[in-house]
Amino acid sequence: MQLTKSIFGLVLLILVCAACSATLLPTNTATSSSSPTLSSTATPNPTATIPATSTALVVIQPTATVTLRSTLTPSPVDTSTPMPPPTEVIPQETMAVLTTLDALVTEKPVLGRYYSWNCVLYPCYVKGLGLSPDGKWAVFFNFKESGGLSIVNVETKAQWDIYFDELTGWTCPCGDARIDIVRWSRDGQYLYLSPNDAGDGGYDFFWNSRSHLFRLNLGNGSWADTKMGSAYSFSPDEKYLAYRLGQVLVIHKFLNGADYMFTVPKELTAFGRFVWSPEGDQVIFVASVDEEDIDGGYIGFTIFIASLANMDLKLVLEHDPRYLYPLDWPEPNIVVLKSMVDDQKYQLNLETNEIILIK
């Protein structure tokens, strides 16, 4: 009995010593590693300095339609909005559009990869998906390394595919980069487009300073860099296009290619938000001493009107602390302004220069 107790005690002593001599490990020894994130390391090609009088277009012939093969998909869209009952909510003319798009998808199933009624009724990828104003062309969102568009003729089924990386020359995958639909020409011959790298808004968004306008020939699928720079705006009759080029406001006339130039004072390094008069012969716009001065941090906005009839630049408002910018020009002598500070709207009377708050 005594011998048994001795043996038991010896074994217990050995076990305790072994435990004491063990090396204690840190409680967190794993090296965490997150999955790699696909991101573009490419930078856009530097914008070449183009003389303001240049009207030449660089035309690129379309490439053959490429089968979708990307393993990278754009960010998921919000599908929480319920589909309204067609017979109760969707107007008859809208149902006709959806029926046309459905028929095209049935005939060309690849078009349906990102197609849904919701993305036509409630824009998700880009605005303007659906039919052209004349009903002859359908536009579907597409994706191949970067976002793009498939433009399909409703009758002939001719299809033009165009992507962000093709217009910009960027090396992709490019995440949520896409192409925005800017305007269909009234004559039905062209579609104006702008690449969008899906930034987070801010200064570039307000001034539209990184925008670049391209023109797609709907007849043959070729596209052209218009060489018409940032902050562009079409006149109501589509005879003119206003855009910013360096320190100059350029108004381009489509009929003969003439460029009318208005030099903005050099201390106002940012300008844009061009709004046309109802007659299409004047442009009102806002200017600032700094592109970042959009939230009341500096000395206020300055407003000018450029007149094609008089070829002059008229000062309307200088360094206004309300940070007003033009929103609409509904009547010949009435301009609607909006404040960047508090989002209040104002009415400017061009005859008296009086500005009143709109209640």
**How confident is the prediction along the chain (359 residues), in pLDDT tens digits per residue?**
443 444 444 333 343 333 333 332 233 333 333 322 222 323 333 333 333 333 333 333 333 232 222 333 454 444 344 455 444 578 999 999 999 999 999 999 999 999 999 999 988 889 999 999 999 999 999 998 899 999 999 999 999 999 999 998 888 888 889 999 999 999 999 999 999 887 655 666 788 777 889 999 999 999 999 988 788 999 999 999 999 999 999 999 998 999 999 999 999 989 999 999 999 999 999 999 876 766 556 788 999 999 999 999 999 999 999 999 999 999 999 999 999 888 999 999 999 999 999 97
Cβ-based neighbours of 287, under 8 Å, separated by 6 or more: 264, 265, 268, 270, 271, 301, 302, 303, 304
Closest CA to 346 of 325, 316, 330: 325
Decide if 248 contacts 266 (C-beta within 8 A). Answer: no
Count of alpha carbons within 13 Å of 71, Cβ hemisphere only?
1
Same domain, 223 and 246: no
Sign of CA dihedral 59, 65, 71, 73: positive
**Quick one: how many helices (H) and strands (E) in the chain?**
5, 21
Same domain, 308 and 223: no
Distance in angstroms (rounded) separating the CA atoms of residues 306 and 37:
47
Distance in angstroms (rounded) separating the CA atoms of residues 248 and 230:
11
Task: Please check whether residue 75 lies inside any domain of the structure.
Answer: no
Same domain, 283 and 235: yes
Sign of CA dihedral 135, 141, 147, 150: negative
Task: Please check whether residue 113 lies inside any domain of the structure.
Answer: yes
For the full predicted model, state whether its pTM sits above 0.75.
no
Task: Please check whether residue 3 lies inside any domain of the structure.
Answer: no
Same domain, 162 and 147: yes
Same domain, 221 and 260: no
Radius of gyration of the chain from its Cα atoms, rounded to whole angstroms: 30
* Edge-to-edge strands, sheet with 248-253: 230-234, 240-245, 248-253, 259-263
Pair of tokens at residue 42: 């490419």
| Residue 168: strand, helix, or coil | helix
Same domain, 274 and 352: yes
Same domain, 218 and 358: no
Same domain, 250 and 329: yes
Same domain, 160 and 277: no
Same domain, 149 and 190: yes
Task: Please check whether residue 48 lies inside any domain of the structure.
Answer: no
Task: Please check whether residue 172 lies inside any domain of the structure.
Answer: yes
Closest CA to 127 of 194, 218, 35: 194
Q: How many domains does the chain have?
A: 2
Question: Which CATH number does the domain housing residue 244 bear?
Answer: 2.120.10.30
Same domain, 244 and 221: no
Task: Please check whether residue 223 lies inside any domain of the structure.
Answer: yes
Count of alpha carbons within 13 Å of 285, Cβ hemisphere only?
30
* Domain enclosing residue 173, as ranges: 55-70+86-227
Task: Please check whether residue 42 lies inside any domain of the structure.
Answer: no
Same domain, 246 and 212: no
Write out 82-129 in H/E/C secondary structure.
Answer: CCCCCCCCCCHHHHHHHHHHHHHHHHCHHHHHCCCHHHHHCCCCCCCC
Distance in angstroms (rounded) separating the CA atoms of residues 188 and 216:
11
Which one of 209, 227, 245 terminates a domain?
A: 227
Which one of 174, 194, 227 terminates a domain?
A: 227
Backbone angles phi, psi at 318, to 5 degrees: -120, 125
- Exposed, middle or buried, 296 (CB in 10 Å: 0-12/13-18/19+)? middle
Task: Please check whether residue 29 lies inside any domain of the structure.
Answer: no
Angle at 182 between CA 109 and CA 155, to 5 degrees: 40
Pair of tokens at residue 181: 């639909």
Which one of 227, 249, 280 terminates a domain?
A: 227
